[in-house]
Amino acid sequence: MNKKIFALLAIFSVMVLSSCGRNVKIFSGTFDRILKKMTLEEKAMLVTGAAAFSPADTLLEGQAAGAAGATTPIERINLPAISFADGPAGLRLDSEHTWYPCGTMLACSWDTELVENVASRIAEEARSKGVDVMLGPGMNIQRNPLGGRNFEYFSEDPYLTGKMAAAYVNGLQDKGVGACVKHFALNNQESGRSFNNARVSPRALREIYLKGFEMVVRESRPWAVMSSTNRINGVYASQSEALLTNLLRAEWGFDGVVVSGWGAADSIAAMLHAGNDLIEPGSRQAYEDIIGAVESGRLSEAELNVNARRVIDLLGRCSLKFEDAPMQHSIEEHIALARRCAADGMVLLENKDRFLPITAEKYPYVAVFGQDTLIAGGLGSSTVNTSHIPVLSEALANAGFHIAENAEDADVAFVVISRGATEGEDRPLSDFYLSKDENKMLNDVCRSFHEQNKKVAVILNTGGVIETASWKNLPDALLLAWLPGQEGGNAIADIVTGAVTPSGHLAQSFPIDCKDVASSSNFPMSELKSAKGKQVKNFDYTNYQEGIYVGYRYFDTFKKEVSYPFGYGLTYTTFSMDDPELFEYRFKNLMEVVVEVTNTGDMPGRAVVQLYVKAPMRGMQEKPAKELRAFAKTKELKPGETEIVTFPLTKTEFASYNEASCSWIVDSGTYIFMSGNSSADITGETARYFEKSISIPVEDVLALDSPINELRVRKSFFREHVRKDKSTSTKRTTNQVSKSVTPDTTAIVPAAVLNQR
C-alpha cells in the first residue's frame, strides 16, 4: 500500500468518524450484498480497529471518551462503527461509573442470578454511553495463586467459571450489549504474556483450560471472543486455526467475531487466516500488512471476506438497537446492587464462638488498624472511574459504631490486610505471605485486645489468595472481602452487623503454602527477564506439568492438606443437607440429583449446595478424587425452612478426555455423587453404576510437540483401583447409597516424590 493512498484514506476516514450514522439497521439478509460492494481497502479497514485511521482521542459518533477501541466506519456504503469498552468489574470509560466487585468475588457468591443481574446493570450503563460491546467477562483459570490477573477471573474450577461467565454474558446480551469473553485461551500468567508458550497436554486443555469457554459458547452464545496474546503448544492463540476455527467454531458452534488482544501482532495475515477477524485497537501497520498479504497471495481475498463478513454480522447485531433511546437506569439501584453482591461474595473464613455478627449497642466503639481506605478493585482493564472510595471506618460509622479516638477505648478491633493487584504483572512470592509489619500489627493488636478480653476481626482486602494457615487462629473472626468494588465498606458493615448473613464460598483453594500448589515449580515466582539466545523457563515457555491437577483436583486427589478448601465458607446459621437422591431417566442419558436443605440454625441465611462427582477409572485414564459438576444457591431460608434443590444432569457431563482415542469418554463403572458445603465437607453421597460407556470422538487439535512429563498418580494405585472398582460394581438402583467404592487414595504419591525413589 503506498503511503499517499494511505494518507488520503486516513483523511477520508477521520471525516467518516464524525459523519457515519449509527441509526442504520443492518439485517442479516444484506450481509453478503454489503460485502460485495466493498473494495479490498475497505475490507482491510473494516477488520482493522479505528485507531489505525484516526488519532487515539478521536471519538466516533455516539462514542464515549475512554472506550478501549472501535471498528472503522465505512461511510461510502453507510457502514457505522461500533465501540468496545473495558470491564469486567464495571464500565471503564473516562466518565464515572459503578465499580462492582472483581470477578473472583462474584464467583464466590455462587449465585448465577446475581452475576447476570450485575452484567445487566453494567449493560445499562454501557448503553447510556453508546458502548456496543463490553470486553468481558474475563474467564481464564486461576492456575496458580500468584497469577497477576486472577482477580479478574472467576475460579480455579472450569465448571464454576463456565457457569459464571454464561450468566455474565446473558446479562449483557439480553440488554443488547455484546459480550467479548476473554482471554482465549491460557492467559494464566502475566509474565511474558505476549509471547509465553503455554505447553499443555490436550487433556488438561480440554478439561481445565478450555472447558469454561466451551460452556459459555454453547450456553450463552457470546457475540465476540478475545484471543489471548500468548502461545499455546508453540502457536500464538491469535494465529491458531486449530483453536479459533476447528475448536471454537466447528466443534463448539461459535458464530461471532474473534477480536485480537490489544496490540497483539506477530503476523496479521496469519491471524486473519486462523479466524481472528478483527485487529484491535488497529494500527497503520496492520492495515498495510493486510493489503500487502492479499496482494502477494499470502492471504486470499476470500479469506479476508470471511473475516469482514463476520465483522459486518457483529455490526448488524449491534445496529438493531441503535435507534433506541439510551437505556434508562437508576444509579442508586446500581450502587445498591454493588453493595449487595459485595456482601454476597464475601467469605467468612473464621468466626470463633460465633463472635460475629455484632451490634453497636453491645460494642459501641471500634478501631480500624491497617488500610482504612479499602482497595476497591485491581488496576488495568477492570479499573472503573468512581469518586466513591470505600473507607471502612466511615462504613462502620454509618452502621452506628463510633470510631474510637484511642485504640484503648475501642471495644472491637478491625485489622485490614490489603493486597492490590494489577494487570501486566504476576504477584511475587513475597506477596503471598504477611509482611513483617503486617505480622507485627496483627500480633500486637490481638495480644493487647485479647488481654483486655476484647475481640479482633481481620478483614482481608485482597485480589488473590494469601497465606493464612500460620495466623488464622489469632483473630476472633476472619472475613475475606476480596476487592469488593466501590461499596465494599458498606458491604463489610452489612456482614459485621448481620444485616446480611454471609453466604459466600471460596471459588479457589487456600493452600497452606504457595509452594504446595501443583503448578508451583512451573510458574514465575519472581520477576523474570528475557535472556539473549536462551528460552527462559516460566517466561518464554511454561510447562503445565500438573496436567489436570489444578486447585482442589490436586489437593483432594493427592491428599494434600490446605488452609481452606475449595467451596468453603461459614455463615451465621446452620444447614442440614439430606443425602442426594438420584433419579435416572431411560432416555438421552438424563438424570436428576435432588438434595433437600434445611436451615437448622437461628438466623436466616442462604446455603450453597455443591455437587461433586467421582468418575470410575478405566485403564490408565486417571480421574481426580472429585470434580464439581453442579451447584445451586438457595433463596434466603428462614430458621426451620427447607428448600429442595434439583440438579438436572446428562451423563456426558461426566466425560473425561482420552488422548489416545481423541474422544470424550464416559467410562462404564460406578459414579459417586457427593453433595456438601465444600470440596472437603461432603454431607451425603449416592452411587450409580453406568453399564455402558459413551464415547464422543473429536478432532485431535493442539497437540504438544514433545512430552512434558505430566504429574500422574502412582500406576500401581490404578491397577489396584481398577480391580477394586470391578469387584464392587454391581448394578445399582435409584437411591442406593454406596460408600464402599470411595477410592483409597492413601496409595497416591506425587510424581515428584516417586521420581526420588
- Cβ at position 258, least distance to ligand BGC in Å: 14
- Is 518 a binder of ligand BGC (CB under 6 A)? no
- Cβ at position 153, least distance to ligand BGC in Å: 11
Would you state the cell numbers that stand for residue 47, as one nine-digit string? Answer: 477488520
- Cβ at position 224, least distance to ligand BGC in Å: 11
CB 289 within 8 A of CB 255: no
**With respect to ligand BGC, which residue has the nearer C-beta, 86 or 556?**
86
Q: List the end-to-end C-alpha distance of the chain, in Å, as a whole number.
A: 64
Kindly state the DSSP code that residue 605 receives in the 8-state scheme: B
| Chain residue at closest Cβ approach to ligand BGC | 262
Q: What residues numbered 356-395 form the site for ligand BGC, per CB under 6 A?
A: 381
The residue type at 332: E
- Cβ at position 84, least distance to ligand BGC in Å: 7
- Is 262 a binder of ligand BGC (CB under 6 A)? yes
Q: Which of 226, 134, 130 is nearest to 171 (CA)?
A: 134
The Cα–Cα gap between 477 and 354 comes to 9
Would you state the cell numbers that stand for residue 587, as one nine-digit string? Answer: 432416555
The residue type at 559: K
**With respect to ligand BGC, which residue has the nearer C-beta, 68 or 702?**
68
Q: Which of 263, 260, 258 is nearest to 313 (CA)?
A: 258
- Is 196 a binder of ligand BGC (CB under 6 A)? no
CA separation, residue 139 to residues 67, 220, 224, 359, 497 (Å)? 21, 14, 14, 39, 33
Q: What residues numbered 80-139 form the site for ligand BGC, per CB under 6 A?
A: 86, 135
Instruction: State the binding string over 135-164 for ligand BGC (x if CB under 6 A, else -).
Output: x-----------------------------
- Cβ at position 259, least distance to ligand BGC in Å: 9
- Cβ at position 550, least distance to ligand BGC in Å: 22
Q: Which of 672, 550, 567, 686 is nearest to 616 (CA)?
A: 672
**With respect to ligand BGC, which residue has the nearer C-beta, 163 or 183?**
183
**With respect to ligand BGC, which residue has the nearer C-beta, 240 or 675?**
240
The residue type at 122: I
Would you state the cell numbers that stand for residue 15, as one nine-digit string? Answer: 471525516
**With respect to ligand BGC, which residue has the nearer C-beta, 314 or 500?**
314
Q: What residues numbered 51-70 form the site for ligand BGC, per CB under 6 A?
A: 68
- Cβ at position 659, least distance to ligand BGC in Å: 30
- CB burial of residue 50 (10 Å; 0-12, 13-18, 19+): buried
> Which of residues 182, 309, 560, 629 is near ligand BGC by CB under 6 A?
182
- Cβ at position 457, least distance to ligand BGC in Å: 34
**With respect to ligand BGC, which residue has the nearer C-beta, 237 or 456?**
237
**With respect to ligand BGC, which residue has the nearer C-beta, 261 or 569?**
261
Would you state the cell numbers that stand for residue 619, as one nine-digit string? Answer: 485403564
**With respect to ligand BGC, which residue has the nearer C-beta, 150 or 381?**
381
The residue type at 126: A
- Cβ at position 663, least distance to ligand BGC in Å: 33
Would you state the cell numbers that stand for residue 108, as one nine-digit string? Answer: 464466590
**With respect to ligand BGC, which residue has the nearer C-beta, 183 or 505?**
183
Q: Which of 111, 127, 138, 213 is nearest to 174 (CA)?
A: 127
**With respect to ligand BGC, which residue has the nearer C-beta, 69 or 489?**
69
- Cβ at position 104, least distance to ligand BGC in Å: 15
- Cβ at position 262, least distance to ligand BGC in Å: 3
**With respect to ligand BGC, which residue has the nearer C-beta, 63 or 656?**
63
Would you state the cell numbers that stand for residue 622, as one nine-digit string? Answer: 486417571
- Cβ at position 189, least distance to ligand BGC in Å: 13
- Cβ at position 80, least distance to ligand BGC in Å: 21
Q: Strands 477-480 and 347-351: what pairing?
A: antiparallel
**With respect to ligand BGC, which residue has the nearer C-beta, 164 or 496?**
164
Mapping DSSP to helix (H, G, I), strand (E, B) and coil, where does residue 104 land? helix
Q: Which of 207, 225, 211 is nearest to 275 (CA)?
A: 225
**With respect to ligand BGC, which residue has the nearer C-beta, 86 or 685?**
86
**With respect to ligand BGC, which residue has the nearer C-beta, 86 or 581?**
86
Residue 373's DSSP bridge partners are: 391
Instruction: State the binding string over 596-635 for ligand BGC (x if CB under 6 A, else -).
Output: ----------------------------------------
**With respect to ligand BGC, which residue has the nearer C-beta, 202 or 256?**
256
The Cα–Cα gap between 235 and 266 comes to 11
Number of residues that bind ligand BGC (CB under 6 A): 8
- Cβ at position 609, least distance to ligand BGC in Å: 33
> Which of residues 158, 261, 551, 676 is near ligand BGC by CB under 6 A?
261
**With respect to ligand BGC, which residue has the nearer C-beta, 132 or 438?**
132
Sheet holding 477-480, edge to edge: 347-351, 477-480, 455-462, 412-419, 365-370, 402-403
The Cα–Cα gap between 529 and 536 comes to 8
Instruction: State the binding string over 296-315 for ligand BGC (x if CB under 6 A, else -).
Output: --------------------
- Cβ at position 381, least distance to ligand BGC in Å: 4
- Cβ at position 68, least distance to ligand BGC in Å: 4
CA separation, residue 450 to residues 81, 357, 457, 474 (Å)? 63, 18, 12, 10
CB 477 within 8 A of CB 338: no
Helix spans in 137-209 (H) = 158-173, 202-204
Instruction: Please give the radius of gyration of the chain, using alpha carbons only, rounded to the nearest integer.
Output: 27
Q: Which of 155, 132, 116, 5 is nearest to 71 (CA)?
A: 132
Q: Strands 178-184 and 510-511: what pairing?
A: unpaired
- Cβ at position 183, least distance to ligand BGC in Å: 6
**With respect to ligand BGC, which residue has the nearer C-beta, 106 or 672?**
106
Would you state the cell numbers that stand for residue 3, as one nine-digit string? Answer: 503511503
> How many CB atoms are located within 10 Å of the residue 56 CB?
8
Q: Which of 231, 326, 221 is nearest to 270 (CA)?
A: 231
Would you state the cell numbers that stand for residue 520, as one nine-digit string? Answer: 508451583
**With respect to ligand BGC, which residue has the nearer C-beta, 182 or 614?**
182
- Cβ at position 424, least distance to ligand BGC in Å: 9
CB 103 within 8 A of CB 150: no
The Cα–Cα gap between 102 and 100 comes to 7
CA separation, residue 295 to residues 44, 289, 504 (Å)? 12, 10, 57
- Footprint of ligand BGC on this chain (CB under 6 A)? 68, 86, 135, 182-183, 261-262, 381
